[in-house]
C-alpha cells in the first residue's frame, strides 16, 4: 500500500534520474516508454503528493482513506492525460484545483456520499458544494492576472509566496539554478502586479474607473496618500475598491492573495498547514514575546538569569554591609562604642602642624565643652600621604567630686592595623587644623 506521507522531494533528484529535471520535463515523459514513465510518476508523486493530500484533508475536513482517494483522483485527472501534463501552468496549483473540483463533484453525487460519509460534512464536501464555483469578486483581478502568467512565473510565485519555501525548491522544480530563479522571481512579481492593473482596466465598468487605474497603485508603491477624488471614488465603486485592496497585498500578504484567488475554498486553512509558513512565523513569535518569558519552560534566557543573579548578589552584599555597620557602631550599656569597632568613626578636628614642627593634635568633634560622654567609635582611618592612622592617647576616667570621662587626644601614629573590612570603604570628612586655611584628607584603610 502506498504511504500517504511520502518524503519531501530531495534536490538534486534521486539517483538514477537525470539531475535538475523540471516538472515540465517529467510530465512530458508520461507519454513515453514505460521505464521513463514510471520514473517520472515516482518523482512527481514525491514532489507534490503531500501538499495535495493536505489540501484534500482541508476540503473534506477529515484525514483518512477518503483524502487519499481524492488525492489519487486529482493526480489521475492532471497527469493522466499526456496532452495536459506538460502544459496548462504550474503543476502544484493545478493539482490543488483538481482536488477542490473533485470534492465538489463527489459531494453532489449521492452514491459517492454513501460510500464516503465525509463528503456530507458541513465544513467539508457539503459546504464546498454549497459555495459558488466561481472566484469571488474581490479576488477576480488576481485570478485573471495569475492565469495569464507563464508556468515558470506561477511556479515561482506559488512556492515562494504560498508555500513559503526557499528559492532552491522552485528552482529544482523548474530545473534552473537559484540565481536564475531569483531573477525570474522578481520579474514574476512585477508581471503579476502589472497583470492586476491590466485586469482592472479591462474589466472596468466605466470610463471613470479606467481613469483612476494608475492612481490606485501609485500611492501604494510610493507610500503616499491617495488624492481626495480617488478616495471619494473608492467609497462608491466596489470594483476599484477591491482592486486597491488586491494591489495593497503586494506590500505584504501576497501569498494570501494568490491562494484565495486560485483555490477559494479553504485557502486560509491550507496556508496554515504549510510547513514553510510555520517555520517562518516561529521566529516572529519569539521576537514579539516579552524577553522575560523567552527560554525553556517560559523562563528568562541564561544571560538574563546571570544578570538577575548578579543584581541579587549585589543587593545582598549591600544589606550585609549595612548590618555590619550598624552592629559594629552600636554603643554598649555605658553609651561608649565597643573598642573592637573599627568602622563608622566620625571625623574629629585634627590640629595641623604648627610652625615649630610639633605633631598635630586632634580633638574629637563629638565631645562637647561640658565634658559629655565620649560617643565616638574607634575607627580605622588612614592618611594616604604619610601612611599613618589616627590613635587616641590619654583617654581615661577622672576622679574627684564626680566620676567623669577624660577625653583623649587623637594623634597620627604608625599604622599597626592588619585587618581591613572587605565590604566597603568609608570616606571620612575632611578635618581642618586650627589656625590654618587648608585641610587634611583622611580616607579609609
Average pLDDT of span 128-144: 88
Phi-psi region of 223 (alpha: psi -120 to 50; beta: other; left: phi over 0): left
Is pLDDT above 90 for 100?
yes
24: Cβ–Cβ under 8 A, 6 or more apart, which residues? Answer: 86, 151, 174, 175
Is pLDDT above 60 for 63?
yes
Cβ count near 233 (within 10 Å): 20
Is pLDDT above 80 for 115?
yes
DSSP per residue, 337-367: B-TT--S-PPP-EEPPP-TT-PPP-EE-TT-
319-354, pLDDT tens digit by residue?
Answer: 666 665 555 554 444 444 444 444 444 444 444 444
Residue 9 is classified by DSSP as P
Residue 400 is classified by DSSP as S
Give yes or no for a contact between 363 and 348, defined as CB atoms under 8 angstroms apart. yes
Is pLDDT above 90 for 53?
yes
* pLDDT value of position 277: 84
* pLDDT value of position 126: 87
272-313, pLDDT tens digit by residue?
Answer: 999 888 777 655 544 444 443 334 333 344 444 555 556 666
* pLDDT value of position 349: 42
Give yes or no for a contact between 442 and 430, defined as CB atoms under 8 angstroms apart. yes
Q: What's the CA gap between 384 and 97, in Å, rounded?
A: 89
Grid cell digits, residue 389: 592612622
Is pLDDT above 60 for 188?
yes
Residue 36 is classified by DSSP as H
Considering only residues 158 and 123, tell me which one the structure prediction assigns the higher pLDDT.
158
> In the structure, how many helices (H) and strands (E) does the chain have?
19, 8
pLDDT range class, residue 219, cuts 50, 70, 90: confident
How far, CA to CA in Å, does 96 sit from each of 56, 133, 382, 425?
A: 8, 14, 87, 77
Grid cell digits, residue 93: 496549483
% of residues, the chain, pLDDT over 70? 56
Give yes or no for a contact between 292 and 284, defined as CB atoms under 8 angstroms apart. no
Is pLDDT above 50 for 262?
yes
Give yes or no for a contact between 172 and 12, defined as CB atoms under 8 angstroms apart. yes
362-402, pLDDT tens digit by residue?
Answer: 444 444 444 443 334 444 455 556 666 666 666 554 554 44
DSSP bridge partners of 383:
388
> What is the pTM (predicted TM-score) of this model?
0.60
pLDDT range class, residue 243, cuts 50, 70, 90: very high
* pLDDT value of position 384: 59
Is pLDDT above 90 for 89?
no
Amino acid at each position: 500500500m502506498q504511504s500517504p506521507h511520502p518524503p519531501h522531494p530531495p534536490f538534486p533528484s534521486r539517483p538514477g534520474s537525470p539531475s535538475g529535471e523540471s516538472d515540465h520535463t517529467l510530465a512530458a515523459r508520461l507519454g513515453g516508454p514505460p521505464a521513463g514513465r514510471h520514473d517520472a510518476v515516482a518523482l512527481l508523486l514525491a514532489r507534490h503528493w503531500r501538499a495535495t493530500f493536505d489540501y484534500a484533508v482541508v476540503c473534506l475536513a477529515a484525514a483518512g482513506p477518503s483524502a487519499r482517494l481524492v488525492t489519487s483522483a486529482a493526480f489521475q485527472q492532471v497527469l493522466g492525460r499526456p496532452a495536459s501534463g506538460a502544459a496548462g501552468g504550474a503543476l502544484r496549483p493545478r493539482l490543488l484545483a483538481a482536488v477542490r473540483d473533485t470534492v465538489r463533484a463527489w459531494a453532489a453525487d449521492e452514491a459517492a456520499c454513501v460510500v464516503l460519509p465525509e463528503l456530507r460534512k458541513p465544513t467539508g464536501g457539503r459546504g464546498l458544494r454549497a459555495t459558488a464555483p466561481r472566484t469571488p469578486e474581490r479576488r477576480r483581478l488576481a485570478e485573471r492576472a495569475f492565469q495569464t502568467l507563464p508556468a515558470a512565473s506561477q511556479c515561482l510565485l506559488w512556492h515562494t509566496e504560498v508555500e513559503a519555501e526557499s528559492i532552491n525548491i522552485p528552482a529544482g522544480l523548474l530545473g534552473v539554478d537559484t540565481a536564475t530563479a531569483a531573477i525570474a522571481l522578481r520579474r514574476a512579481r512585477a508581471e503579476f502586479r502589472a497583470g492586476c492593473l491590466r485586469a482592472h482596466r479591462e474589466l472596468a465598468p466605466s470610463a471613470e474607473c479606467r481613469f483612476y487605474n494608475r492612481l490606485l497603485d501609485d500611492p501604494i508603491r510610493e507610500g503616499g496618500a491617495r488624492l481626495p477624488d480617488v478616495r471619494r471614488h473608492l467609497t462608491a465603486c466596489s470594483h476599484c475598491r477591491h482592486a486597491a485592496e488586491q494591489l495593497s497585498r503586494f506590500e505584504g500578504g501576497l501569498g494570501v492573495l494568490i491562494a484565495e484567488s486560485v483555490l477559494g475554498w479553504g485557502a486560509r486553512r491550507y496556508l496554515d498547514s504549510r510547513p514553510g509558513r510555520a517555520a517562518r512565523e516561529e521566529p516572529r513569535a519569539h521576537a514579539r514575546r516579552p524577553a522575560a518569558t523567552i527560554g525553556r519552560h517560559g523562563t528568562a534566557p541564561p544571560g538574563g538569569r546571570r544578570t538577575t543573579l548578579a543584581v541579587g548578589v549585589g543587593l545582598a552584599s549591600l544589606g550585609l554591609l549595612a548590618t555590619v555597620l550598624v552592629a559594629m557602631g552600636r554603643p554598649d550599656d555605658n553609651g561608649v562604642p565597643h573598642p573592637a569597632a573599627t568602622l563608622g568613626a566620625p571625623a574629629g578636628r585634627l590640629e595641623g602642624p604648627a610652625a615649630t614642627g610639633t605633631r598635630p593634635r586632634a580633638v574629637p568633634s563629638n565631645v562637647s565643652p561640658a565634658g559629655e560622654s565620649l560617643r565616638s567609635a574607634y575607627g580605622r582611618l588612614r592618611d594616604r600621604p604619610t601612611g599613618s592612622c589616627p590613635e587616641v592617647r590619654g583617654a581615661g576616667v577622672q576622679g574627684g567630686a564626680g566620676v567623669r570621662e577624660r577625653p583623649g587626644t587623637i594623634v597620627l601614629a604608625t599604622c599597626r592595623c592588619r585587618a581591613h573590612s572587605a565590604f566597603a570603604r568609608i570616606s571620612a570628612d575632611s578635618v581642618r587644623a586650627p589656625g590654618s586655611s587648608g585641610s587634611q584628607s583622611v580616607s579609609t584603610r
